[in-house]
Each structure stands twice: as structure tokens, then as C-alpha cells.
Amino acid sequence: MKPAGSFITGLLAGAAIGGIIALLYAPKSGKETREELKHKLEDLEKEFETLKDKASRKTDNIKKDLADKLSDLQREIEHLSGSI
């Protein structure tokens, strides 16, 4: 096995062992932990939607700016070619 593969295998094994130990020593019941995870997942989904909307708006703004600049460039080229 390559050194990188060994590292990744060790990393995954360590993460799995750490997760198991964390669940065994968790101060909350399984039901409470699941509820908390559910709420955190819902919060992450909302945050993801917000980021997606922001990215979409920025993309739209960039497209509009590029279209405006291209239009300006085309007008300038037409103006210059008419001067020749």
C-alpha cells in the first residue's frame, strides 16, 4: 500500500474509533443527540440555501457586467472601424 493510502486508512480508522468513543461517553441520551443533530442539519441546510442564493446573485451580476462590457467593447470597435 502506498504511504498516502496508509495515511488515509489510518485517518479513517481513527475517525471511526473517535466517533464510537464519543457516542459511548456522550452525556446525552441517543434521542437527545439525534434531535440535536437533526436541528444542526436543518440549520446547515438553511445556511447552504443562503450561500447558494448569494452565489447565484453574484453569478447573475457578473454575467450582467460582462455583457455590459462586451456591449461597450463592440460599440468602441464599431466607432474605431468607422474612423478608419
Domain limits, the chain = 3-83
Mean pLDDT over 14-30 rounds to: 79
Q: How many CB atoms lie within 10 A of CB 33?
A: 14
Average pLDDT, the chain: 85
CA–CA dist 33, 82 (Å, integer): 73
Angle at 37 between CA 32 and CA 38, to 5 degrees: 95
- pLDDT at position 12, please? 83
Alpha-helical segments (H) within 1-84: 3-24, 30-83
Contacts for 26 with CB less than 8 Å, ≥ 6 apart: 33
- pLDDT at position 74, please? 94
CA end-to-end span of the chain: 68
Give the pTM. 0.50
Question: Regarding predicted confidence, which is higher, 1 or 69?
Answer: 69
